[in-house]
Amino acid sequence: MYFILDSLRRHDQFEMLLQSGSNKHEKLKRALLDYLWRPQDKTLREMVALHLTMYRAVAEMHKQEADKQLVALRGVRLEPSFAFKQALSRIQEQYTDAAENFFKDECLHYGQRCQAMASLVALQIRLLASDVRVICLSTQEVVQLMSRHTSFHDCLIVAEAYKMRSMSSWIEPLYNQVIVRGNFSYYAEFKRTFPRKSSLCSEIAA
């Protein structure tokens, strides 16, 4: 099968497979995507996905690859090297591509999850020089990070990526940043983001 696809591709005849009716053959659709994933030809893969309306399948492949690459970095020491940044950039791109394809298939929840992960990896790239780790954290490590990190915007990215959406997740960070350290810009950003929860600091202080 791959020999035939290779031949068609070399002779610029790949679009023959996308003639009317090809989108009805599930095995062919899956074989095409599996084949296109190997050479990492994003443009051709997206063209096939568009024709065969397989955005979700492409999105899931991107997400699985991103998840696998991210897990491989668990326990690996952070370093601001070009190679490490490139590795993170590839993961960020995979999550971004996954999000775009999920949105095209109107899978909003999964698209937003992948967007959040792409933002987390982008944040990790930005924080490499400061040796602050935001990827592959446990729940306890996330809470500790949010409590000591002075940027509310960064903490919000972390909270979204790790699904720490409840207001209880912000109690300890707000106490440490606002009550203990007097970081009122942190509180100001919190109020702008969660205007209906602006009384939370008063409750903490009480």
**Whole-number mean pLDDT of the chain?**
84
How confident is the model over 74-102, as a mean pLDDT? 94
| pLDDT of amino acid 16 | 67
Percent of the chain with pLDDT over 70: 73
Which pLDDT does position 190 carry in this prediction? 92
Cα Rg, the chain, nearest whole Å: 22
Q: Check pLDDT > 70 for residue 14.
A: no
Residues 6 or more apart whose CB falls under 8 angstroms from that of 99 comprise 59, 111, 112, 114, 115, 118
Q: Tell me which of 23 and 92 has the higher pLDDT.
A: 92
Reported as a pLDDT band with limits 50, 70 and 90, residue 40 is low
**Short-list 121, 126, 118, 188, CA closest to 152:** 188
pLDDT of residue 110 exceeding 80, the answer is yes
Predicted confidence band of residue 194 (pLDDT cuts 50, 70, 90): confident
* pLDDT value of position 173: 92
Residue 20 pLDDT exceeds 60? no
Distance CA 42, CA 62 (A): 11
The secondary structure of residue 132, as a DSSP letter, is -
Residues 6+ apart with CB under 8 A from 141: none
Indicate whether 108 pLDDT > 80: yes
The pLDDT of residue 197 is above 60: no
In the DSSP assignment, the letter for residue 180 is I
Q: How far is the C-alpha of 78 from the C-alpha of 142, rounded, in Å?
A: 17
